[in-house]
Amino acid sequence: MMGKFEVTKRKNGEFQFNLKAGNGQVILTSEGYVAKDSCLKGIESVRKNSQIDTRYEIKTSKDNRSYFNLKASNGQVVGTSEMYNSEAAMKNGIESVKKNAPEATLVDLTII
Q: How many domains does the chain have?
A: 1
Give per-residue pLDDT as tens, 2-18.
899 999 999 999 999 99
pTM for the whole structure? 0.94
Under DSSP, the state recorded for 33 is B
Q: What is the per-residue pLDDT across 50-87, written as a single tens digit (0 to 9) for each?
A: 999 999 999 999 999 999 999 999 999 999 999 999 99
Structural domain of 69 = 4-111
* Per-residue pLDDT at 44 exceeds 80: yes
Per residue in 13-32, pLDDT tens? 999 999 999 999 999 999 99
Residue 112 has pLDDT above 90, yes or no: no
Torsion-angle region of 25 (φ positive above 0: left; ψ -120 to 50: alpha; else: beta): beta
Calculate mean pLDDT across residues 91-110: 97
Which H or E element spans position 98? helix 87-100
Q: Give yes or no for a contact between 32 and 14, defined as CB atoms under 8 angstroms apart.
A: yes
CATH code of the domain containing 96: 2.30.29.80
